[in-house]
Structure 1
Amino acid sequence: MAATKVIIAGGGIAGPVLAMFLKAKGYEPVIYERTDAPTDMGLSLALQPNGLRVLELIPGLLDKIVRCRVDEMISYSALPEDERELTRSRSQLAEILGHGIEGTRRPVFLRSLIEGAQERGIPVHFSHQVVDVEHHGDSVTVKFADGTTDEGSFVVGCDGLHSNTRVSLFGKQEAIFTGLTQTGGISPIPEIYKGPDLHPFFNIYGDGVHMIGYTINETQISWAITQREAEEKETWRDMDEARQKEFKEGPFSKLPFGGGELVRTADKIIKYGLYDRPELQSWHKGRVVLIGDAAHPTSPHLGQGANQALEDIYHLVRLLSKHNPSAAPPSTATLESVFTELEQLRIQRTSELVKKARKMGDIRVVSGVEACKQRNELVRTMFTSEVAKAMFEDLGTNPFEPGKSEI
């Protein structure tokens, strides 16, 4: 009997990881990605304990991912009336949870995932943009923009913020600008952050601005500045040379605590608006299910976007193993059980994290001296109390079974 074919829409982070798990379970996944090659868009991401626990379940994968652990958590105030270090602590997450926070350059990470999938015999087809899905009794046909089609037992939409799979299931839903933009770059590590086992994860809080940064390898830091301003498109593409030069010479080039140096020395700078999307009450229809940003896009203020997608994958594969242990072509009723149980586990959790991320953005970016001073004291409380520890413990342990080493 031929293996059960699963069509995965999207070759970003979630798609290749899901494909590797499905292949190991006896399915025959195939990935379709809209871009013509592994994308070089975006800057970096912070792999957190929950995400790393999923990735380590794929033998040998973490060994091939270039990443840099975070050893020091630092917060500063750049407010002229209150310029100082707010908090500093050595990260103990790895000792507590088995994993800490690890920064990685996004395009490099994506290429490693695509290569990992291809090495396991998983086809990856670029230049294939989903435009529609058509349900049959025991299969789904996916239609692509170039006029081609493919048919599989079921489809998983991993096609991100601009998911065409989502549109084909639930129609087009307008994104809402949050009032915040981010400008970010990749820069050499400044002197202030050089030192044995320093590898910082830092926050710089100013008046109407917040800067975050972390090491992504032994020589570079990825950073992003969030501020309230006019709407920007959600492109995640490089600024043109003139805009980059203007930004590098602008007011942020004078940020203290290494922030200005990072701005001035960036090898590329991108800018994008931050948007919210309507919350879905269901992630599936028939034999098609959404996961990751296609299902629950979130603002980046908790760094949980990719990590939550990895949690989705863990549970989807676990539930497929539970309800369809033979990996035979599942009935529509079996898939309904899998997808419904996935939603029961994941919708509330991801919804809460989306709201927490939005709230964190509002906390970080405030204007006016008094409001900024209050924010600074809140930051001190957050990162010197058990609140931060409890949050990270939740991200490291929930929702996995203690000591679980397989799906």
Structure 2
Amino acid sequence: MSPARVGVIGAGIVGPVLSIFLKQKGYDPILYERLDAPSDAGLGIALQSNGTAVLAKIPGLLDAIGGQILNNIYFYSVLPEDTGLLGASEHPRRLREATGHPLMAVRRPLMHARIIDFARQLGVPIEFGHNLEALEQNDDGVTVTFANGVKETFSFVVGCDGLHSKTRACLFGDMPAEYTGVTYCGGISPTPDLWECKKDPADLYGNGAYMIAIPMGDNITLWAVVQREPEAKEQWRAIDAAGVEEFKKNSPFVGWPYGAGELVKNSTKIVKYGIYDRPELKAWHQGRVLLVGDAAHPTSPHTAQGANQAYEDIDLLMELLKKHNPSAELPSTPMLEAVFTELERTRIPRTSDLVRKARAQGEMRTVVGVEACMRRNAAIRDMCSDPEKIRARFGA
């Protein structure tokens, strides 16, 4: 019997990993991406221990990805009325020691390119320039139509195509993304002299805004500022040269202490994007088509769990496929229904909880007004003294 042919939609940082797992388990995956080439969009990815635990199941992948292993995290207040170190946590190191899996920071474009290359080396076909247009299902498979006129038929299809998922729209209709009221603006900068000996991230909290900065080795630090402001489209693209210079000269963050101002002033690249949510889905599949990752449960990045939750989705999907279809042969519709329903039963409560926690973290970190900021700072001091509270902050 021939292996089941699987269409994977979206070649970001999720689709290639799913395709590798499927290939290793005997399926015949083909990966499709609407863009014409791998994207260099975005800045960094925080791979937490739950994410690296999944990636470690693919021999050699974590080594190929590389990245900076994190041990500690520091929390500072830049509020003039309450400036100083709020606390520090060894949570990343303790979690690594307890689980055997590290928390890593990776430059997103590098990670993307490396997992694409890894998938290709394992024989996964990747078709760029294929924008999903329509899905048509029957009892035996799914026919996928792309905007370039190509039609392909698969045993089942998995949508890994992110916040603006066309797979999701085909299944459940258009659901406009809702702006959350905050933007991310970040860059890549030389590491400030103050941080030369540090290899760990820092959170810096101000009035209505906060910054996270992660030294990446080789004298490079990634940073991102979250602030409340009018809508900015979520495009993950670099600001033009004039916009960069304007931000570097006139941004209020230029005056922040603890090296934060230096990061802004010396940035070699700046991107800006709004943070959006979509309505929660009660189901992630219809028939032979399943959504995973941000296509199913997009979340704001305040707990840095987006990619990691997508990898948890993939991990459970592969476990359930092994349980119900160990031969990787053509699955029946009832078999896929059992797999997808069991996945939803486990994953929807978990991801819904983390989406709510991420929203709450975003609200807490960007509070406005001195009194509210003082309460936030007190809460961070308390969090740093309690391992359970710091664990909840990471969502893992």
TM-score between both structures, scaled by the size of structure 1: 0.94
Distance 1:223 1:392 in 2: 19
Task: Rate the CA distance shift 1:353–1:58 in 2: closer, same or farther, 3 A.
Answer: same
Residue correspondence of structure 1 range 217-232 to structure 2 within 5 A = 217-232=217-232
CA deviation after TM superposition for structure 1 residue 86, in Å: 0.7
Distance 1:80 1:390 in 2: 28
CA deviation after TM superposition for structure 1 residue 380, in Å: 0.8
The residue that corresponds to 1:290 in the other structure is: 291
Is contact 2:7-2:31 (8 Å) kept? yes
The residue that corresponds to 1:101 in the other structure is: 103
Q: In percent, how many aligned pairs have the same letter?
A: 51
List alignment gaps of at least 5 residues for structure 1: 396-407
Task: Point out the more displaced range, 142-151 or 301-310.
Answer: 142-151
CA deviation after TM superposition for structure 1 residue 390, in Å: 4.1
CA deviation after TM superposition for structure 1 residue 99, in Å: 2.2
Residue correspondence of structure 1 range 335-354 to structure 2 within 5 A = 335-354=336-355
Residue correspondence of structure 1 range 362-377 to structure 2 within 5 A = 362-377=363-378
Residue correspondence of structure 1 range 116-155 to structure 2 within 5 A = 116-155=118-157
AA of the residue aligned to 1:14: V
1:378-398 Cα shifts (integer Å, max 9, x gaps): 011112213235437972xxx
The residue that corresponds to 1:183 in the other structure is: 185
Is contact 1:291-1:312 (8 Å) kept? yes
1:229-263 Cα shifts (integer Å, max 9, x gaps): 11111111111111110111122111111111111
CA deviation after TM superposition for structure 1 residue 14, in Å: 1.1
Distance 1:375 1:310 in 2: 31
SS of structure 2 residue aligned to 1:168: helix
AA of the residue aligned to 1:333: P
Is contact 1:92-1:100 (8 Å) kept? no
Task: Rate the CA distance shift 1:384–1:74 in 2: closer, same or farther, 3 A.
Answer: same
Distance 2:142 2:239 in 1: 40
CA deviation after TM superposition for structure 1 residue 41, in Å: 0.6
List alignment gaps of at least 5 residues for structure 2: none
> Would you say 1:54 and 2:60 are equivalent positions?
no
1:63-110 Cα shifts (integer Å, max 9, x gaps): 111200112210000011111111123432211221232100001001
TM-score between both structures, scaled by the size of structure 2: 0.97
Paired positions, count: 393
Is contact 2:22-2:29 (8 Å) kept? yes
The residue that corresponds to 1:400 in the other structure is: none
1:135-191 Cα shifts (integer Å, max 9, x gaps): 022110111111111111000000011100000000000111111111011112111
The residue that corresponds to 1:262 in the other structure is: 263
SS of structure 1 residue aligned to 2:7: strand
AA of the residue aligned to 1:367: V
Is contact 1:11-1:159 (8 Å) kept? yes
Is contact 2:248-2:264 (8 Å) kept? yes
> Would you say 1:383 and 2:384 are equivalent positions?
yes
SS of structure 2 residue aligned to 1:329: coil
The residue that corresponds to 1:26 in the other structure is: 26
Is contact 1:51-1:310 (8 Å) kept? yes
SS of structure 1 residue aligned to 2:275: strand
Distance 1:132 1:381 in 2: 51
Distance 1:58 1:223 in 2: 30
Distance 2:235 2:334 in 1: 39
Task: Rate the CA distance shift 1:378–1:394 in 2: closer, same or farther, 3 A.
Answer: closer
Task: Point out the more displaced range, 186-195 or 139-148.
Answer: 186-195
AA of the residue aligned to 2:124: I
Distance 1:92 1:136 in 2: 50
SS of structure 2 residue aligned to 1:214: strand
Is contact 2:303-2:393 (8 Å) kept? no
SS of structure 1 residue aligned to 2:52: helix
Task: Rate the CA distance shift 1:376–1:389 in 2: closer, same or farther, 3 A.
Answer: closer
SS of structure 1 residue aligned to 2:105: strand
Task: Point out the more displaced range, 34-43 or 383-392.
Answer: 383-392
AA of the residue aligned to 1:124: I
